[in-house]
């Protein structure tokens, strides 16, 4: 059920976050891609808590609603498990072992790395190629997660009317979408270490990509819901009203200085803290650019704010910049939501693996 080895055409990318269910449908057009449909349906608060689906009926209802909203005719999908719920390990295996024999050996090898009973785990692998250190060995990426993490996501999509063809891992989906935003960076840093800071509703995930591949990922408990909570508290709004006001505007004049500015400062602190963890746990010297993704990247001017504070070239992700759009797609709205759709985009791209 994982992404590896599964190459199904025309899949809907479905991103289930703490705040919303997002849908994206892509097609091939000329030498690029076209957005055929997309949708975003908010989730009630506490539907997804700590990356766990606490209220599956709410998610299934949102899946049905987002399919209807988008107008898509597709019913096959790819969904992802958060990186914090996944164990990944690069291992080496004899290069001449293939097929069922390779699978059997990897099953045995996996027991060394997975702290759960084998029957409790969903497991898959991808052969990355010959080891540069020893051509008689092959590098293999092993991926595992507790079975309920996978089954819960499959179940809510199936109950929402979709068939799940692929279960991906969120950092690898971000890596997949990064190819579409790479050219938005200064040419001198595109192939260097780039930090993709995905600031969602409940968590900020720092994915460092070097040479097009993930080399580091870390999730921290900080997100846009903290801004929503402060708006709600400060101005006496409901949770839904605060979320809408944050996105659409119309808040009192003191909002920018007294609420938004402290949040932006806290956001920079979180990225800086993730940067320090990255430096302390790897042999890398740092990163050369930042790509902001997630809902908080839609804050006006946040790229310039982060760039000034951290002295690192910073851009807001827009994976749709060089795409065409079907007539039914509301281009202005999708452009506004682009940074929040990066994960869904990376999932939808699995159609073309």
- Helix axis angle, 225-235 to 239-248, nearest 10°: 110
CB 184 within 8 A of CB 315: yes
Q: Would you place residue 126 in the very low, low, confident or very high pLDDT band (cuts 50, 70, 90)?
A: confident
- 90 or 65: which carries more pLDDT confidence? 65
Tokens of 121: 């785990």
Residue 98 clears pLDDT 90, i.e. is over it: no
Other beta carbons within 10 angstroms of residue 281's beta carbon come to 10
Using the CB atoms, write b or e for 114-129: b if 16+ within 10 Å: beeeeeebbbbbebee
pLDDT at 4: 47
pLDDT at 9 (0 to 100): 64
Distances (CA, A) of 89 to 127, 147, 237, 300: 12, 18, 46, 39
pLDDT-wise least confident of 56-60, 178-182, 240-244: 240-244
Whether the CA torsion 146, 215, 351, 331 is positive or negative: it is positive
- Give residue-wise pLDDT tens across range 307-317: 999 999 999 99
- In sequence order, the 6+-apart residues with CB closer than 8 A to the CB of 100 are none
Residue entry with tokens 């890596």: 175
**Selected residue with higher pLDDT from 103 and 66:** 66
Averaged confidence pLDDT in the chain: 91
Structural domains present in the chain: 85-146 (3.30.1490.300), 186-312 (3.30.420.40)
**Angle ∠(332,336,338) on CA atoms, nearest 5:** 110
The mean pLDDT of 17-30, rounded to a whole number, is 95
- Residue 7 — very low, low, confident or very high, per pLDDT cuts 50/70/90? low
Of 286 and 70, the one with more pLDDT: 70
What average pLDDT does this structure show over 49-77? 97
- Rg over CA atoms, the chain: 20
Alpha-carbon gap, residue 150 to 147, rounded angstroms: 5
What is the token pair recorded at 122? 């969903």
* Tens digit of each residue's pLDDT (9 = 90 or more) over 208-239: 999 888 989 999 999 999 999 999 999 999 98
Task: State the average pLDDT over residues 80-97.
Answer: 88
The model's pTM is: 0.90
Give me the mean pLDDT over the 143-161 stretch. Answer: 95
Q: At what angle do helices 56-70 and 147-159 cross, to 10 degrees?
A: 50
89 pLDDT band, cuts 50/70/90, is confident
Query: Quick one: what percent of the chain has pLDDT higher than 90?
Result: 69
* SS3 category, 200: coil
Residue 70 near residue 39, CB atoms below 8 Å: yes
Element (H, E) at 293: strand 289-293
């Amino acid at each position: 059920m994982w992404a590896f080895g599964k190459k199904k055409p025309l899949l809907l990318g479905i991103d289930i976050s703490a705040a919303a269910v997002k849908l994206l449908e892509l097609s091939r057009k000329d030498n690029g891609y076209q957005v055929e449909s997309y949708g975003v349906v908010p989730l009630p608060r506490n539907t997804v808590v700590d990356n766990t689906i606490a209220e599956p009926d709410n998610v299934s209802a949102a899946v049905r609603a987002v399919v209807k909203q988008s107008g898509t005719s597709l019913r096959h999908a790819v969904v992802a498990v958060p990186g914090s719920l996944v164990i990944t390990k690069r291992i080496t295996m004899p290069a001449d072992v293939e097929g069922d024999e390779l699978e059997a050996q990897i099953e045995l090898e996996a027991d060394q790395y997975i702290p759960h009973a084998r029957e409790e785990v969903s497991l898959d692998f991808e052969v990355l190629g010959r080891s540069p250190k020893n051509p008689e060995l092959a590098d293999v990426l092993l991926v595992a997660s507790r079975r309920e993490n996978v089954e819960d996501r499959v179940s809510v999509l199936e109950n929402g009317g979709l068939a799940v063809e692929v279960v991906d891992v969120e950092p690898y989906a971000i890596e997949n979408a990064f190819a579409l935003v790479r050219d938005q960076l200064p040419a001198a840093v595109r192939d260097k270490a780039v930090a993709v800071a995905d600031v969602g509703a409940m968590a900020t995930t720092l994915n460092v990509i070097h040479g097009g591949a993930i080399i580091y990922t870390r999730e921290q408990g900080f997100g846009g819901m903290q801004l929503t909570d402060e708006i709600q508290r400060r101005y006496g709004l409901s949770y839904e009203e605060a979320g809408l006001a944050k996105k659409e505007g119309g808040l009192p004049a003191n909002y920018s200085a007294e609420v938004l500015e402290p949040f932006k400062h806290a956001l920079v602190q979180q990225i800086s803290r993730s940067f320090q963890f990255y430096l302390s746990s790897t042999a890398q010297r740092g990163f050369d650019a930042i790509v902001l993704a997630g809902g908080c990247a839609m804050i006006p001017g946040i790229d310039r704010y982060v760039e000034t504070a951290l002295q690192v070239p910073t851009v807001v992700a827009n994976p749709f910049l060089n795409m065409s759009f079907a007539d039914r797609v509301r281009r202005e709205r999708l452009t506004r939501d682009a940074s929040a759709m990066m994960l869904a985009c990376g999932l939808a791209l699995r159609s073309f693996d």
